[in-house]
Amino acid sequence: MSEDDLYRRAEKRVDEKIGFYRHLYSFIGVNAILFIINLISNFLSHSNEWWFYWITIFWGIGLFFHFLKTFVFTERLEDNRDKMIEKEMEKMKK
């Protein structure tokens, strides 16, 4: 693998990690705001209805899968991709 290929792969991995961290920061910020809105609305209406956690749960599931894709399955996906490219190149040579 050439130096340029390594650089491109490293750059892609860094971009994926930055994307995950942006997703995480958005998740924390938005859900904190939703919690505060829910808290204030409960206080003003004298109720005890909590709805913010539904958004947190389902968005959290999406964030968990983003984490897995970014940090757990990255190497396997890239290795499989490289093998698939090699097989495709072999087919094209025939």
pLDDT tens per residue across span 77-87: 666 777 777 78
**What is the Cα–Cα distance from 23 to 77, expressed in whole angstroms?**
21
Q: How many domains does the chain have?
A: 1
pLDDT value of position 1: 67
**What is the Cα–Cα distance from 6 to 9, expressed in whole angstroms?**
5
Structure confidence by residue, pLDDT tens digits, 22-80? 999 999 999 999 999 999 999 999 999 999 999 999 999 999 999 999 998 877 766 67
pLDDT value of position 55: 97
Amino acid sitting at position 51:
W
Between the two ends of the chain, the Cα-to-Cα distance in Å is 23
pTM for the model: 0.77
Domain of residue 71 covers 3-93
Cβ pair 25, 68 in contact under 8 A:
no
pLDDT value of position 4: 85
